[in-house]
A and B are shown apart, each in its own frame.
Chain A
Amino acid sequence: MTDTVTLDPHRNVPGVRRPGFAQTLRAEWIKFWSVRSTVWSIVALVVLGAGLTVLVCATSADDLADGSAGEAAGSFITWGMTIAQITAIVLGSLVVTSEYGTGMIRATLTATPHHGRVLAAKALVLTGTLFVVGTVTAVLGYLGGNWFLEREGIGLALGDEGVLRSLLGSGLYMAGIGLFAAAVGLLVRHTAAALAIVLALILVIGNMVVLLPGAWGEWATKLMPGNAGGVVATPVSFNPDLLDPWVGFGVFCAEVAAVLLVGYVVFRRRDA
């Protein structure tokens, strides 16, 4: 029989000898930007996030100015982000679940058979993009919305309390909520299921736990991921009983990390 032939795998195709995290990151970056759903989600995020902020500021500036709204202008200046988070959730979930839906995950893991590295690269591409896009969107919304507020003499300066924090916080929250959806995607491996779970948790259950009796309802409301994490993204919260911005964001990060950790364990253990 033929002797074992050892072929130098670099003989015909030169390149990086020991590919590492940088290569995995580059691969995930190419993957991320080469499907239309990414572009559509990001366009939707910007349009909804900035557009709705401008819209609510434009329509309620006079009520805010004469006090008849009973709310602070700071609660409106990043308001669009509460709706824009839906697109961050869609994007985050798709980054994972579209791979399972199409069988792509097998190509991913044959190219890089290191679950942790793949997950870290995916998370970095997703959160990096969402942070930048989220922050830019919040700034656009602020510039547009503030123009209407200033006309009524209630404009907010960047230096005013919480304004700058809420703009960066919007980016942080978008990144966090997207990662949360991706982690849930790892657990359920199905786009519709992941979206249903996360959207229900953030938009429905988060607003209903207040119905729990007494301190239970109070604390459940404070701790629900959308409530805890969302405070950092607005200068003045509509609900004064929520956690302080950075405390809340810390709780939110811990929650995301916990779900991500469980997702990672499941990702490693289950067959692709």
Chain B
Amino acid sequence: MIEARGLTKRYGDRTAVDGISFTVQPGRVTGFLGPNGAGKSTTMRMLLGLDRPTAGTVTVNGRSYADFPAPLRQVGALLEARALHPGRSARDHLRWMAASNGLPVRRVDEVLDMVGLTDVAGQRVGRFSLGMGQRLGIAVALLGDPPVVVLDEPVNGLDPEGIRWVRTLTRQLATEGRTVFLSSHLMSEMALTADHLVVIGRGRILADCSMSQFIADHAASYVRVASPQRGEVADLLRAQGLDVAVHGEELHVQGLDAAAVGELVGRNGLLLHELTLVRSSLEDAFMTLTAASVEYSAREQTPAGALR
């Protein structure tokens, strides 16, 4: 379990993390979401004792990170920036880490095998591709077989097979009863991986709830209706007090499920060509919630606009 209480980090006059409190429970995957610069990596660095909180605390199973005699056995972490010397081989990197926490050398070969780097273990990591580097980072996180795993953008740079592997791995770690806390910007992937979400924007908690709750709260699903009698159907539904939006040939209806919409239209003798419940995605919900707290957004600009 990870617990943050009033956790704050200021760099000069810039507040990166602004008094956040949350709990990451064991036995499930908790996704950590937020736009660029929201403070996710800073929070994780404080959790690992790398950055000193300006105020507040963050503990792992009730203790600060620095209080663990063998921290790699308690918390496995993949950091955002590569924390590797490019001139050292993958095996040597894992070897010194294992030695530092009194882990047996055979564990090095086990994790190399687990992440599929056995064949390149003797190569200098400076030659590794982005994805190989990520795999090594995950091997580091798994080295001490820790009950708490913290991964900052683990799928960044991985190929589809690697992404699926991380998903399976994190789900499995959670099933084994471990605490899994991971950040990612890949919403579709997060939707498949996480059970619970902690969302931050500009250093503050925007949401801390289950995945389904989050989507239900922040992006409404709707029923897509296509009908040759579009106008009549729209009038009928509006008369029932439903929210109907016209999108080209389709109607988007909110406030009633697909079956109820179908029955209503049928009872009134109107024709339907399509009736589909469209569930909103995590991405929609995320965009809605964080729209106000995006710090670094690209200006929407057409090439023509740019020339003017």
Q: A23-B101, A98-B85 are in contact. List 9 more A-B contacts (CB 8 A).
A: A2-B28, A9-B70, A14-B104, A16-B102, A30-B92, A31-B88, A31-B92, A113-B66, A113-B68
Within the complex, what minimum Cβ distance (angstroms) separates A3 from chain B? 8
CB 8 Å contact bits of A13-31 with B (1 = contact, 0 = none)? 1111111000110111011
| Pick from B1, B25, B102, B146: contact of A19, CB under 8 Å | B102
B280 part of interface (Cβ distance < 8 Å): no
**Which interface class (under 10, 10 to 19, 20 to 34, 35 or more) fits B?**
35 or more
8 Å CB contacts to A: which residues of B166-184?
176-178
B49, B87, B88, B176: the one within 8 Å of A109 (CB)? B49
Interface-facing stretch out of A33-41, A153-161, A190-198: A33-41
A241 within 8 A of B: no
User: Do the beta carbons of B96 and A1 come within 8 Å of each other?
Assistant: no
Q: Could you tell me if A30 and B178 are in contact, using CB atoms closer than 8 angstroms?
A: no
Q: How many residues of A contact B (CB 8 A)?
A: 46
Whether A30 contacts B96 by the Cβ 8 Å rule is yes
Complex partner residue of A4 from B26, B71, B77, B85, CB under 8 angstroms: B26
Establish whether residues B147 and A102, one from each chain, have CB atoms under 8 Å apart when the complex forms.
no
Q: A7-B178, A34-B92 are in contact. Are A111 and B101 (CB under 8 A)?
A: yes
> Contact: B177 with A30, CB < 8 Å?
no
Find chain B residues with CB under 8 A from A102 CB.
82-86
If A5-B27, A110-B50, A272-B51 touch, does A103 touch B144 (CB 8 Å cutoff)?
no
Which residues of A are found within 8 Å of B83, using beta-carbon distances?
A: 102-107, 110
Give complex CA distance A7, B174 in Å.
12
Instruction: List residues of chain A with CB under 8 Å of any chain B CB.
Output: 1-7, 9-19, 23-24, 26-28, 30-31, 34-37, 98-99, 102-107, 109-114, 269, 271-272
A100 to B92, CA, bound (A): 18
Instruction: Kindly report which residue of chain A lies nearest to residue B110, judged by CB atoms.
Output: A13
Residue numbers in A under 8 Å from B74 (CB-CB): 9
Q: Is the CB of A31 within 8 A of B96?
A: yes
Per-residue CB proximity of B42-78 to A under 8 Å, as 1/0?
0001001111100000000100011011111111010
A37 in complex: contacting residue of B77, B87, B93, CB < 8 Å: B87
**Contacting pair A111 B97 (CB below 8 A):** yes
User: Which 8 A-B residue pairs are closest in the complex by CB-CB distance?
Assistant: A16-B102, A2-B27, A5-B177, A27-B100, A9-B73, A34-B92, A19-B102, A107-B83
Contacting residues, chain B, for A269 (C-beta < 8 A): 52
CA gap between A27 and B97 in the complex, in Å: 7
Determine whether the beta carbon of B50 is less than 8 Å from that of A23: no
Contact B147–A107 (Cβ < 8 Å): no
The residues in B between 80 and 136 inclusive whose CB is less than 8 angstroms from any CB of A are 81-89, 92-93, 95-97, 99-104, 107
Q: Which residue of A lies closest to B49 (CB)?
A: A113
B4 to chain A, nearest CB (A): 17
Q: A27–B50 contact, CB under 8 A? A: no
Contact present for B88 and A35 (CB under 8 Å): yes
Q: Report yes or no: B79 in contact with A106, Cβ–Cβ below 8 A.
A: yes
Closest-CB distance, A12 to chain B (whole angstroms): 5
- A103 CB contacts on chain B under 8 angstroms: 79, 81-84
